[in-house]
Structure 1
Amino acid sequence: MSCTCPLNTPQDDSKSCQTTDHTGAMDTWQMLLAAILVLPFVWLVVFHGRGDGKSGGRPGRLPPGPPYVPVLGSTVWLTNSLGEVEPLLQRLIARYGPVVSLRIGSRLAIFVADRLLAHKALVERGAALADRPSLASVKLIGENDNLISRASYGPVWRLLRRNLVAETLHPSRLRMFAPARAWVRRVLVENLREPGGEAAQPVAVVETFQYAMFCLLVLMCFGERLDEAAVRAIATAQRNSLLYGSSKLNVFAFFPAVTKHLFRGRLQKVHALRRRLNELFMPLINARREYKKLAGEPRKETTFEHSYVDTLLDIKLPDDGNRALTDDEMVNLCSEFLNAGTDTTSTALQWIMAELVKNPSVQSKLYEEIKAKAGDDQPEASEEDVHDMPYLKAVILEGLRKHPPGHFVLPHKASEDMEIGGYLIPKGATVNFMVAEMGRDEKEWDKPMEFMPERFLAGGDGEGVDVTGSREIRMMPFGVGRRICAGLGVAMLHLEYFVANIVREFEWKEVAGDEVDFAEKREFTVVMAKPLRAHLVPRRT
């Protein structure tokens, strides 16, 4: 299979997601409607308090935050967008402290930026925050919550997560996909190679990273090495659905009984995007059904012995009549699997390689370690080799500390009244943890905005850091506690393996006049606003 074309860029995806519902105009009308509705209720603010935490020092008060209007939520939404919530929260934290609250519609959302408070909440009181808030948009499009990322803390979630961890992400299962990773490594190196060396045009790497990671996750999910056209069709449909959902469905957090009519075009668009995923996924799922029936029969060279879909076909939901998963539920779980492992890994790869381009001495030190472990006579730096590369691990950890792909973990929901930092967190409140703020906290890290992998080696301020956060939280790129990312192990494996091999193959150089820019932009993950371009000089002939 030849994999030479990059994925669609985000700009292409946004064009393909345009609808005829005039969403920009509708957003304006929503703001006007909110402003009109605010006026009769403004006087209520006096009785409900400013929410700024200045009403006294008694315990049990809600965390501070900006004024709000009942039903409509915090008044900051009249001048700020949900999509740009992080700069707003940084201003609020500077004013009020590390625990602040916002009203998003009628829902109370708490944001925590302190690592010690995060540990008390997620580890010491983990059971009370193991649930997920329901999303109005899920109900409006007629889906259920039978996904690992959004299922309530209960038997369905335990079953789905245990299935993923034990049957697909367990080290014994991951070893079965070693040939797939080696194949994707070859694809990645081939697509990064510049004809003509330094005289050639610099490589725009993010599309190449996205495509390579997507090839690998599609194979792990469906157990089939698909041709390029099939992979690209799935990638386009998946990315269109992901970007549209993450950017266009936030409006349903406000007054869903009204916005479902104002923005019905968005719901229709989501249904169309989901139908497209069904069209692409169901033939692959049905092919695995047939494969399982023919156990022991010879298989095609492109067919793998095991896949995530195989495990989904075996699941029975005991609390729902011991039924099997529906086709729609399997499509959604496959989509979740692809989302969780593609953009996060490709985003982390881009940030790490950008830092290595900008810090050639770090790249040189890393290359010397790789070269010492994987000699020129070997076709690759093997997975066994990378396990014994401490500086490589330090580079990966430093990349995840400074540039976590997600600046927030997925929201938690309080299942009972609890206390964080002296404030009352009432039952049902949504609690969010600010990952980037903790990893960049200058009170905890020496020169946090500098890229210094040595901090994770002996004597550094990150020596022995526990990325799971069970002992203490210094950084939490994968979340912490009972809802920690199930793919932590495979993510670290993929990052170490692919970084080692592309540094082994190429010297990564900055492009004169097109220097690395570390400005951020929020998509599904937090990506480079100006995607990385670099000259790649082959190290091996």
Structure 2
Amino acid sequence: MSFLSFSPISLDLLSSNVFLTILAIIISGLLKTITYRKHNSNHLNLPPGPPGWPVIGNLFQFTRSGKQFFEYVEDLVKIYGPILTLRLGTRTMIIISDASLAHEALIERGAQFATRPVETPTRKIFSSSEITVHSAMYGPVWRSLRRNMVQNMLSSNRLKEFGSVRKSAMDKLIERIKSEARDNDGLVWVLQNSRYAAFCVLLDICFGVEMEEESIEKMDQLMTAILNAVDPKLHDYLPILTPFNYNERNRALKLRRELVDFVVGFIEKRRKAIRTATVSSFSYLDTLFDLRIIEGSETTPSDEDLVTLCSEFLNAGTDTTGAAIEWGIAELIANPEIQSRLYDEIKSTVGDRAVDERDVDKMVLLQAVVKEILRRHPPTYFTLSHGVTEPTTLSGYNIPVGVNIEFYLPGISEDPKIWSEPKKFDPDRFLSGREDADITGVAGVKMMPFGVGRRICPGMGMATVHVHLMIARMVQEFEWLAYPPQSEMDFAGKLVFAVVMKKPLRAMVRPRVQ
């Protein structure tokens, strides 16, 4: 969920041909690199980390480990501590896995740590001159875009206006699950259904126009293709390989053009509806047409900028929300007594009518369940990459401009110094008063599924509304059971835009007797 959340790294390296290329690069760059690093080591006291090779840094060590990146980082934290340095080609990462350091950096000294690193060349193709909320550098453009999104779309009053959109999407979700269960002896794929429901809600809120099923599927395919395209590749860490990336760059440019051509049609449809006063609802797009990108200027977003901002809005809240629902249903299957208690709370609160989002505030167990889902299964392993606006220090180490600062979320939300039995799914920890956490981080960082500080996810309120409502409706309508019966849940995860279950969850549903 992070409503605006993407992976800082997901590499698939190295083929033998690429490795030979890297060896050639090492030989040609060896003397230059040694001289450069020797010179700079006299001036910088970076956090500790594994020694790397010239030019490629720790890339080869990571790929040789055979681990996912978060697993590799977990091993390094045990050796080097809660703040460490990792070099991946030309990119230097400072990885932080300590709650107090996260609070100091992002809350106490938020302005210093509020910018973003420079985007990769492929991402720039899709970011339209960095006119995005999530990747814009800290400054007037970012302030304008974020202020518009928060004030005009994500305020509590505005969220309430979209209640009918969410109700319609939830009704369709329940019908999709019923239909799939009828056709498959009670079996349903959880992630596919939950992410589709989240996507439909965001489409309606973003464009304010009703789309045919074919258009929804086309839009979803394009959004997924974009996320695949911007996933970091080897040349992003070794720019010297960029000349070998000609075909990939052309594919990215072609995809961008296809996206623009497709989405501009819906933009024009909405623009015409506003011009002719035939609109009966509000949309995110409405707030962007006349937005001054920099306050006081006359510059408004171009059509390409509008495509970028709408794409960001859709991509940011679809896979992360779907993943949260998949993990949540898996935990409720593995903990049937909690599922039973949650159903009882829903039943006692609303009776036989469908759960409405206005009921959420009355259901304390539901709130605790969702908070525990976000603690145990944050939507990403890392927040969006941060950068510093000026050279500074943290924990006695130098933090130079230009490095990627990555906050490793499980290192915080599973820290035994903060949480009792951190690996256990236990919503009661939030009910008994034994433990609690302010997920905004203002009162102290103990978990940060949406990030914290100035770059906290602006869609946190919307995302939590969606997760609460989807979990409540799905538990109200169905009892969720393991498949095959009595089998154990496999809680291994993997990163696919968001952190999803490595073995996708296919569950058995049994309709409740209303």
Q: Which residue of 2 aligns with 1:265?
A: 247
Which of 489-498 and 272-281 deviates more?
A: 272-281
The separation in 1 between residues aligned to 2:276 and 2:116, in whole angstroms, is 39
- Map 1:137-152 → 2, pairs under 5 A: 137-138=121-122, 141=125, 143-152=128-137
Relative distance call for 1:48 and 1:457 in structure 2 (3 A) is: farther
Which of 33-42 and 356-365 deviates more?
A: 33-42
Q: Which residue of 2 aligns with 1:15?
A: none
Gaps of 5+ in 2: 1-10
TM-score (norm 1): 0.87
Helix, strand or coil at the partner of 1:188: helix
- Map 1:341-356 → 2, pairs under 5 A: 341-356=317-332
- Map 1:377-456 → 2, pairs under 5 A: 378=353, 380-456=354-430
Q: Are residue 32 (structure 1) and residue 6 (structure 2) matched?
A: no
Shift of 1:321: 4.8
Helix, strand or coil at the partner of 1:522: strand
Q: Is the 8 A contact 1:413 1:430 kept in 2?
A: yes
2:293 to 317, 325, 349: 317
Q: Which residue of 1 aligns with 2:77?
A: 93
1:335 to 311, 318, 321: 311
Q: Which residue of 2 aligns with 1:184?
A: 169
Q: Which residue of 2 aligns with 1:368?
A: 344
Q: Which residue of 2 aligns with 1:279?
A: 261
Q: Which residue of 1 aligns with 2:238?
A: 255
Q: Which residue of 2 aligns with 1:158?
A: 143
Amino acid in structure 1 at the alignment position of 2:175:
E
Shift of 1:269: 1.3
Helix, strand or coil at the partner of 1:317: coil
Helix, strand or coil at the partner of 1:102: strand
Q: Is the 8 A contact 2:483 2:508 kept in 1?
A: yes
The separation in 2 between residues aligned to 1:177 and 1:240, in whole angstroms, is 28
The separation in 2 between residues aligned to 1:262 and 1:64, in whole angstroms, is 33
Amino acid in structure 2 at the alignment position of 1:532:
L
Q: Which residue of 1 aligns with 2:431?
A: 457
Equivalent pairs, count: 501
The separation in 2 between residues aligned to 1:452 and 1:386, in whole angstroms, is 19
RMSD, aligned CA: 2.7
Question: Which string of whole-angstrom CA distances, capped at 9 and with x for unpartnered residues, describes residues 244-278 of structure 1?
Answer: 322xx42232332x322111111111112222211
Relative distance call for 1:199 and 1:439 in structure 2 (3 A) is: same
Question: Which string of whole-angstrom CA distances, capped at 9 and with x for unpartnered residues, describes residues 30-86 of structure 1?
Answer: 322212322465577877789xxxx9xx99621011223554333545745999321
Q: Is the 8 A contact 2:13 2:234 kept in 1?
A: no
The separation in 2 between residues aligned to 1:68 and 1:132, in whole angstroms, is 25
Relative distance call for 1:440 and 1:213 in structure 2 (3 A) is: same
Helix, strand or coil at the partner of 1:141: helix
Question: Which string of whole-angstrom CA distances, capped at 9 and with x for unpartnered residues, describes residues 288-317 of structure 1?
Answer: 11111122x4x5xxxx51001111112122
Q: Is the 8 A contact 1:137 1:252 kept in 2?
A: no
The separation in 2 between residues aligned to 1:497 and 1:25, in whole angstroms, is 40
Helix, strand or coil at the partner of 2:500: strand
Relative distance call for 1:321 and 1:220 in structure 2 (3 A) is: same
Which of 525-534 and 453-462 deviates more?
A: 453-462
Amino acid in structure 2 at the alignment position of 1:478:
F
Q: Are residue 357 (structure 1) and residue 345 (structure 2) matched?
A: no
Q: Is the 8 A contact 2:125 2:256 kept in 1?
A: no
The separation in 2 between residues aligned to 1:196 and 1:528, in whole angstroms, is 21
Q: Is the 8 A contact 1:354 1:532 kept in 2?
A: yes
The separation in 2 between residues aligned to 1:460 and 1:198, in whole angstroms, is 45
Q: Is the 8 A contact 2:33 2:55 kept in 1?
A: no
Q: Are residue 291 (structure 1) and residue 291 (structure 2) matched?
A: no
Amino acid in structure 2 at the alignment position of 1:451:
F
Q: Is the 8 A contact 2:48 2:83 kept in 1?
A: yes
Q: Which residue of 2 aligns with 1:241?
A: 226
Relative distance call for 1:210 and 1:522 in structure 2 (3 A) is: same
Q: Which residue of 2 aligns with 1:13?
A: none
The separation in 2 between residues aligned to 1:140 and 1:311, in whole angstroms, is 24
Amino acid in structure 1 at the alignment position of 2:439:
V
Q: Is the 8 A contact 2:62 2:69 kept in 1?
A: no
Shift of 1:287: 1.0
Helix, strand or coil at the partner of 1:264: helix
2:199 to 214, 217, 233: 214
Which of 192-201 and 145-154 deviates more?
A: 192-201
Which of 409-418 and 395-404 deviates more?
A: 409-418
The separation in 1 between residues aligned to 2:296 and 2:119, in whole angstroms, is 22
Q: Is the 8 A contact 2:209 2:270 kept in 1?
A: no
Q: Which residue of 2 aligns with 1:518?
A: 491
Helix, strand or coil at the partner of 2:162: helix
The separation in 2 between residues aligned to 1:203 and 1:285, in whole angstroms, is 35
Which of 230-239 and 199-208 deviates more?
A: 199-208
The separation in 2 between residues aligned to 1:516 and 1:25, in whole angstroms, is 30
Shift of 1:27: 5.0
- Map 1:13-162 → 2, pairs under 5 A: 27-39=15-27, 61-69=45-53, 71-74=55-58, 76=60, 79-80=63-64, 84-138=68-122, 141=125, 143-162=128-147
Amino acid in structure 2 at the alignment position of 1:154:
G
Helix, strand or coil at the partner of 2:87: strand
The separation in 1 between residues aligned to 2:49 and 2:59, in whole angstroms, is 11
The separation in 2 between residues aligned to 1:223 and 1:215, in whole angstroms, is 11
Helix, strand or coil at the partner of 2:111: helix
Amino acid in structure 2 at the alignment position of 1:179:
S
Relative distance call for 1:81 and 1:269 in structure 2 (3 A) is: farther
Shift of 1:515: 4.1
Relative distance call for 1:38 and 1:456 in structure 2 (3 A) is: same
Q: Is the 8 A contact 2:380 2:495 kept in 1?
A: no
Question: Which string of whole-angstrom CA distances, capped at 9 and with x for unpartnered residues, describes residues 344-367 of structure 1?
Answer: 111101100110011000001111
Q: Is the 8 A contact 1:416 1:428 kept in 2?
A: no
Helix, strand or coil at the partner of 2:443: coil
Amino acid in structure 2 at the alignment position of 1:395:
V
The separation in 2 between residues aligned to 1:452 and 1:141, in whole angstroms, is 43
Gaps of 5+ in 1: 1-22
Q: Which residue of 2 aligns with 1:7?
A: none
Relative distance call for 1:179 and 1:82 in structure 2 (3 A) is: farther
Q: Which residue of 1 aligns with 2:3?
A: none
Which of 442-451 and 507-516 deviates more?
A: 507-516
Question: Which string of whole-angstrom CA distances, capped at 9 and with x for unpartnered residues, describes residues 393-452 of structure 1?
Answer: 100010000001111000011112222222111222221101122111122211111110
Q: Which residue of 1 aligns with 2:187?
A: 202
Helix, strand or coil at the partner of 1:166: helix
2:448 to 469, 476, 487: 476
Q: Is the 8 A contact 1:41 1:69 kept in 2?
A: no
The separation in 1 between residues aligned to 2:414 and 2:395, in whole angstroms, is 20
